[in-house]
């Protein structure tokens, strides 16, 4: 197989990029008065303006050729048809089956997985209805008012993000908390004002062996039993599990009747729409959860069917790749102008970087090009008064994704027009900047001019949606999932494993007994780790 960097489309892009770098967005817009209408795409209820990217029609043609040459179409078909594309773990990758409608047929090893998905969804809906209506009672007969999800990584970031995003349609008479960190503060703060008799814990762990989650789950059981008179039978009314490991769930003391399952073909960071979304369903109700899944599915179908030049995730994925590989951009800023999406950038960090933070190809050879950029961001307008300075006038190129909604969820005077005016203004300022002549024309004195110049030519996408409904959230998440997929296909990497998190976990397990040992342990680490362990042991003795 030809190495990626010698592939025809890659090399064509390489020769094309110097011309591109010499062009300013001001010139591109001047040359085509309709550019702002032409370089847009509307699909699945999302309007994407990609006109403020440093591209010409030729760039787009070459990027699309790169996608085609990379076998993206075949990779998409392989995923949707249940092939084991997660080759290093020998697993199918079928998060798309989690949102397939009843009656769809998606097979893994000849077996249709969709009926099983809906069976779990139905059980979740029944359970959520019982808890929300007060039919499910705690051990002492009290109604459940508090839900605490215990999980980490993929078993936490999706649930937290979705709860925050859809808080506006959540049961306001219930409290939702999320515990992930093994730092005891996380658990202590989550429960400090909760009454155990009214609290239900969801232990969310695909493997049910994760150190942080199991440590927190045991502390939660101790906390609940201490408050509920020590009767172990209370666990059954105050703990449910979301897992693929029935044996470990039973061993913890949770009846498998109160366990909601999923499958090895659901990766952690792709699992917020599986039973891992139980806390989401408890918060927003089964109907809203169904709408969320509907949004995911609409984007899945768009990704599967739309020609690449009209395909939102494909275009966005390729544009990001253009900057990462040909402009040496190190990061991407995701800037939602919607306060409810405050955890969306954090969620995307795992989705993008755990998926595509890889240094070898599917064939195991070291890549000689960059893979995932660093994703980061904060909601606007807050970021404008902080790190946007660097995006506008710093020395690094930072492509931005602006996300905005036409309808506010909390109508408050002129707030929403101000919010939207800001997001449009930022894209405009980044693209067009302010020249020295313009600065001078405003009456700025000579030495100050360079400080007030905005070079512009800084690229951004603007995503405009109608309103942050459950369906809209599903579409947005699926959009980024498939962006990641597109990039991985071009980079020839496996977006679905995460061996990079293993080493630290193993080393930590080795260090725990050395920290806890009553006698001075014989240490055989490097001199830095040995010294840190000794210092910590000394410090904790006081
Ligand atoms: C996600 C990763 C990882 C995982 C957590 C939690 O894709 O695999 O973030 O979700 O390590 O794992 P468990 O759900 O097994 O506890």
- Summarised one tens digit per residue, pLDDT across range 39-89 is 999 999 999 999 999 999 999 999 999 999 999 999 999 999 999 999 999
Q: Residue 107 in 3-state DSSP?
A: strand
Cβ atoms of 405 and 435 within 8 Å: the answer is no
Cβ atoms of 251 and 209 within 8 Å: the answer is no
For ligand 1, the distance from its centroid to the CA atom of residue 456, given in whole angstroms, is 40
Q: Is 159 in the pocket of ligand 1 (CB under 6 A)?
A: no
Q: Cα 359 vs. chain centroid, distance in angstroms?
A: 20
* HEC assignment per residue over 1-38: CCCHHHCHHHHHHHHHHHHHHCCCHHHHHHHCCCHHHH
How far is Cα 222 from Cα 410, in angstroms, rounded to an integer?
Answer: 40
Closest CA to 476 of 309, 365, 345, 288: 345
How far is Cα 38 from Cα 61, in angstroms, rounded to an integer?
Answer: 15
CA distances from 538 to 182, 534, 541 (A): 22, 6, 5
Q: Is 354 in the pocket of ligand 1 (CB under 6 A)?
A: yes
pLDDT at 445 exceeding the cut of 90: no
Q: Average pLDDT, stretch 504-527?
A: 94
How far is Cα 250 from Cα 258, in angstroms, rounded to an integer?
Answer: 10
Cβ atoms of 177 and 170 within 8 Å: the answer is no
Mean pLDDT, the chain, rounded, equals: 97
Q: Is 5 in the pocket of ligand 1 (CB under 6 A)?
A: no
Q: Is 459 in the pocket of ligand 1 (CB under 6 A)?
A: no
Per-residue pLDDT, 26: 98
* CA 269 to ligand 1: nearest atom: 7
Per-residue pLDDT, 502: 86
CA distances from 159 to 123, 233, 475 (A): 18, 28, 16
Give nearest CA residue, ligand 1 atom 11. 153
* CA 212 to ligand 1: nearest atom: 16
Give nearest CA residue, ligand 1 atom 5. 153
pLDDT at 380 exceeding the cut of 90: yes
CB within 8 Å of 283: residues ≥ 6 apart: 147, 163, 166, 167, 170, 171, 174, 176
pLDDT, tens only, 123-137: 999 999 999 999 999
Q: Is 268 in the pocket of ligand 1 (CB under 6 A)?
A: yes
* CA 151 to ligand 1: nearest atom: 16
> Ligand 1 pocket check: which of 93, 152, 481 to mutate, most ligand atoms within 8 Å of Cβ?
152
> Ligand 1 pocket check: which of 93, 157, 203, 210 to mutate, most ligand atoms within 8 Å of Cβ?
210
For ligand 1, the distance from its centroid to the CA atom of residue 210, given in whole angstroms, is 8
> What is the set of active-site residues?
354, 385, 505
For ligand 1, the distance from its centroid to the CA atom of residue 362, given in whole angstroms, is 21
Residue 184 class from Cβ within 10 Å (0-12 exposed, 13-18 middle, 19+ buried)? exposed
In this prediction the pTM is 0.97
pLDDT, tens only, 83-130: 999 999 999 999 999 999 999 999 999 999 999 999 999 999 999 999
pLDDT at 178 exceeding the cut of 90: yes
Q: Residue 356 in 3-state DSSP?
A: helix
Local confidence band at 481 (pLDDT 50, 70, 90 cut-offs): very high
Q: Is 244 in the pocket of ligand 1 (CB under 6 A)?
A: no
For ligand 1, the distance from its centroid to the CA atom of residue 500, given in whole angstroms, is 12
Q: Is 497 in the pocket of ligand 1 (CB under 6 A)?
A: no
pLDDT at 504 exceeding the cut of 90: no
CB within 8 Å of 38: residues ≥ 6 apart: 32, 51
pLDDT, tens only, 207-240: 999 999 999 999 999 999 999 999 999 999 999 9
Per-residue pLDDT, 167: 98
For ligand 1, the distance from its centroid to the CA atom of residue 249, given in whole angstroms, is 16
Give nearest CA residue, ligand 1 atom 9. 153
Q: Is 158 in the pocket of ligand 1 (CB under 6 A)?
A: no
What is the token pair recorded at 515? 């920290």
Q: Average pLDDT, stretch 484-500?
A: 97
Local confidence band at 1 (pLDDT 50, 70, 90 cut-offs): confident
For ligand 1, the distance from its centroid to the CA atom of residue 155, given in whole angstroms, is 6
> Ligand 1 pocket check: which of 93, 181, 182, 206 to mutate, most ligand atoms within 8 Å of Cβ?
206
Using alpha carbons only, give the angle 150, 154, 155 rounded to the nearest 5 degrees. Answer: 20
For ligand 1, the distance from its centroid to the CA atom of residue 266, given in whole angstroms, is 11
353: which DSSP letter? I
Per-residue pLDDT, 485: 98
Local confidence band at 316 (pLDDT 50, 70, 90 cut-offs): very high
CB within 8 Å of 69: residues ≥ 6 apart: 7, 8, 9
Per-residue pLDDT, 185: 98
For ligand 1, the distance from its centroid to the CA atom of residue 503, given in whole angstroms, is 15
* CA 270 to ligand 1: nearest atom: 7
What is the token pair recorded at 363? 């064939």
CA distances from 451 to 324, 384, 429 (A): 28, 18, 15
Q: Average pLDDT, stretch 455-461?
A: 98
pLDDT at 285 exceeding the cut of 90: yes
Per-residue pLDDT, 188: 98
Q: Average pLDDT, stretch 289-318?
A: 98
Whether residue 69 has a cis bond before it, omega within 30° of 0? no
């Amino acid at each position: 197989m030809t190495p990626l960097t010698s592939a025809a489309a890659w090399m064509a892009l390489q020769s094309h990029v110097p011309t591109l770098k010499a062009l300013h967005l001001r010139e591109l817009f001047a040359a085509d008065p309709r550019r702002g209408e032409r370089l847009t795409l509307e699909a699945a209820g999302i309007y994407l303006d990609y006109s403020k990217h440093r591209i010409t029609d030729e760039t787009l043609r070459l990027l699309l050729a790169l996608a085609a040459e990379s076998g993206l179409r075949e990779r998409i078909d392989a995923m949707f048809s249940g092939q084991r594309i997660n080759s290093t773990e020998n697993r199918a990758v079928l998060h798309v089956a989690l949102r397939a409608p009843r009656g769809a047929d998606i097979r893994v090893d000849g077996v249709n997985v969709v009926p099983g998905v809906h069976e779990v969804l139905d059980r979740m809906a029944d359970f959520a209805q019982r808890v929300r209506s007060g039919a499910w009672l705690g051990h002492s007969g009290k109604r459940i008012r508090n839900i605490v999800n215990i999980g980490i990584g993929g078993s936490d970031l999706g649930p937290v993000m979705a709860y925050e995003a859809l808080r506006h349609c959540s049961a306001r008479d219930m409290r939702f908390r999320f515990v992930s960190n093994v730092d005891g503060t996380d658990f202590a703060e989550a429960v400090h004002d909760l009454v155990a008799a009214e609290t239900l814990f969801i232990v969310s762990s695909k493997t049910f062996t994760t150190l942080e989650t199991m440590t927190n789950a045991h502390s939660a059981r101790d906390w609940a039993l201490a408050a509920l008179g020590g009767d172990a039978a209370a666990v059954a009314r105050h703990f449910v599990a979301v897992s693929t490991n029935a044996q470990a769930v039973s061993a913890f003391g949770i009846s498998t009747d109160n366990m909601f399952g999923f499958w090895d073909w659901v990766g952690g960071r792709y699992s917020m729409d599986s039973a891992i979304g139980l806390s989401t369903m408890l918060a927003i109700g089964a109907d809203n959860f169904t709408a969320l899944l509907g949004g995911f599915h609409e984007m899945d179908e768009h990704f599967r069917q739309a020609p690449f030049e009209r395909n939102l995730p494909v275009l966005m994925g390729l544009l990001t790749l253009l900057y990462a590989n040909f402009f040496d951009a190190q990061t991407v800023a995701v800037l939602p102008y919607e306060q409810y999406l405050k955890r969306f950038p954090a969620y995307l960090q795992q989705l993008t970087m755990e998926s595509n933070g890889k240094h070898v190809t599917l064939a195991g050879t070291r890549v000689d090009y960059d893979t995932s950029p660093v994703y980061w961001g904060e909601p606007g307008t807050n970021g404008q008064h902080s790190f946007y300075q660097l995006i506008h006038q710093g020395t690094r190129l930072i492509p931005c994704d602006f996300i905005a909604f036409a309808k506010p969820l909390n109508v408050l005077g002129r707030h929403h027009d101000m919010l939207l005016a800001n997001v449009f203004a930022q894209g405009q300022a980044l693209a067009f900047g302010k020249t020295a002549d313009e600065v001078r024309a405003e009456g700025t004195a000579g030495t100050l001019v360079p400080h007030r110049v905005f070079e512009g030519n800084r690229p951004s996408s603007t995503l405009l949606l109608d309103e942050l409904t459950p369906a809209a959230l599903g579409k947005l998440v699926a959009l980024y999932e498939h962006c990641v997929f597109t990039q991985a296909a071009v980079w020839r990497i496996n977006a679905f494993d995460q061996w990079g998190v293993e080493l630290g976990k193993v080393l930590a397990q080795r260090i725990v007994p050395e920290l806890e040992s009553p006698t001075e342990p014989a240490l055989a680490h490097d001199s830095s780790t040995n010294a840190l362990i000794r210092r910590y042991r000394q410090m904790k003795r006081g």
